[in-house]
Amino acid sequence: MNKKQIMSPLPGTFYRKPSPDSENFKNDGESVEIDDVVGLAEVMKSFHEIKSTVTGRELKFLVEDGDAIMPGQVIAEVE
């Protein structure tokens, strides 16, 4: 199977859930569709949703909650 990539358009800090007490937006192994929110990027004192640009299954995150991210960095892969 070909892997498809979900990239962050923004630099900043990556979060996998909407607030510290919430569930993750998505977990490894799940399916995603285009425009599903997969995480947040915190930059310039605000939070921005990172949406999937691909449809696929067997999601696998490549960055952890709280990691620094760069624009164009691959956040997750799907099959």
Please state the closest distance from residue 72 (CB atom) to another protein, in A. Answer: 4
Say if residues 38 and 6 touch (Cβ distance below 8 Å): yes
Q: What is the contact surface with another protein in residues (CB under 8 A)?
A: 7, 9-13, 42-45, 48, 68, 70-72
Minimum CB separation of residue 42 from another protein in Å reads 5
Nearer of residues 27 and 72 to another protein, judged by Cβ: 72
Q: How far is the CB of 62 from another protein (least distance, A)?
A: 16
Q: How far apart are CA 25 and CA 30, in angstroms?
A: 10
Which CA distances in Å does 61 have to 6, 31, 44? 9, 12, 24
